Chain A
Amino acid sequence: MNTVFVIAALALCIGLAVVLLAGAERLLASTAGKLVLLAGIGVLPLAVSVGGLTAGVVSSSQTSFCLSCHEMTPYGQSLFVDGDSLVAVHFQDRLVDRDYACYVCHKDYAMFGDVRTKLHGLNHLLVHYFGEASDPIELYAPYPNANCLHCHDDSRRYLDVEVHVRFAADMARDERSCLDCHRSSHDLDAVHAGQFWQAVAR
């Protein structure tokens, strides 16, 4: 829907700019014409560009966008494996928005974290088109507990588990990782073995 709106706005804006180009001489002769030029060159194209850019940034947070690079294929397939890996449980039980599954778990939740995450994404694109991704793909840093705690921190299901409360301080300082216990994140073994949840076959 966003893309259709952006395309329509761009087409309209181009049409207007072409008309302005044809009548520029006449428009410059009057004050009203100059105001039309101001809107047609100084305001509308910038507004449409910012709108398009915003739609693009939102789109780049979507699961389909992340999985459009072939390097991510097995990680995308791991969303559908049969088992209790973290990724599969979160995706299949709808604990995360499926349309933004990658972004929700891998974004940086700190201040300006979105910007940092997008810059990392830009680097991923450069590697995809001009370099070679490591195999297996590695994170920039050990997975931060803050990303898990962002959602689970005060959830009843989380707090009802005694060890979560006992090690809360250690986990807040990243001295103990969530992945120490929940070892299986992306279950690539199951992917390679073809052990998928039935939804894949639909």
Chain B
Amino acid sequence: MSTLRAVQIALVLCIAGLAVQLLTSLFWSPISFILFASVGVTLVVCGTLVFIWTVLRELRHTGAL
């Protein structure tokens, strides 16, 4: 997978997670809080992890690590 594609995937995951968080924040209730934490935050964390993995892979590829 190219670096560009990996970064795009990371961004899409972050956008999806933030969108879930935004929607659940607009309709705040016990169930929306659960969705905020379990779906929204998880998607953002996944996006960040994909980005970190991409950066590490790039650094190793260029010999910086």
Measuring CB to CB, which residues of chain A are less than 8 angstroms from any residue of chain B?
Answer: 3, 6-7, 10-11, 13-14, 17-18, 20-21, 24-25, 28, 37-38, 40-42, 45-46, 48-49, 52-53, 56, 59-60, 65, 68-69, 122, 125, 128-129
Please name the residue on chain B nearest to A65 by beta carbon: B30
A-B contact count (CB 8 A): 93
Which residue of chain B has its CB nearest to the CB of A60? Answer: B33
Residue of B nearest to A52 (CB): B21
B7 surroundings in chain A (CB, below 8 A): 24, 28, 37, 41
CA–CA, A13 and B12, complex, Å: 12
Please state if A68 and B11 are interface contacts (CB–CB under 8 Å): no
Q: Mark B42-56, 1 if CB is under 8 A from A, else 0.
A: 001101100110010
25 contacts between A and B (CB under 8 A): A14-B19, A14-B22, A18-B15, A21-B12, A24-B8, A28-B7, A38-B55, A40-B11, A41-B14, A41-B47, A42-B52, A45-B18, A46-B48, A48-B21, A49-B17, A49-B18, A49-B41, A52-B25, A52-B40, A52-B41, A60-B30, A65-B30, A68-B30, A128-B30, A129-B31
Q: Which chain A residues lie closer than 8 Å to B51 at the CB level?
A: 37-38, 41-42
**Given A20-B11, A53-B36: A45 and B28 interface contact (C-beta under 8 Å):** no
Which of B4, B12, B22, B26 is A25 in contact with, Cβ under 8 Å?
B4
Given contacts A45-B47, A49-B41, contact A21 B15 (CB under 8 A): yes
Are A45's CB and B14's CB within 8 A? Answer: yes
Are B4 and A24 in contact, with the CB atoms below 8 A? Answer: yes
Min CB–CB distance A92 → chain B (angstroms): 26
What DSSP secondary structure best describes chain A's contact surface? Answer: helix
B41 to chain A, nearest CB (A): 5
Which one of B21, B31, B33, B55 contacts A49 once the chains associate, using CB atoms below 8 Å?
B21
B45 touches A46 (CB 8 A): yes
- Is A45's CB under 8 angstroms from B30's CB? no
| Residues of chain A with a CB closer than 8 A to B14's CB | 17, 41, 45
Closest 3 pairs between A and B when the two form their complex, measured CB to CB: A10-B22, A41-B51, A21-B11
Neighbouring B residues of A18 by C-beta, 8 Å? 15
- In the complex with contacts A20-B11, A65-B30, A56-B4 CB distance below 8 A: no
Whether the pair A3, B30 counts as a contact (CB closer than 8 A) is: no
If the complex has contacts A42-B52, A45-B17, A69-B30, are A56 and B37 also in contact, measured as CB distance less than 8 A?
A: yes
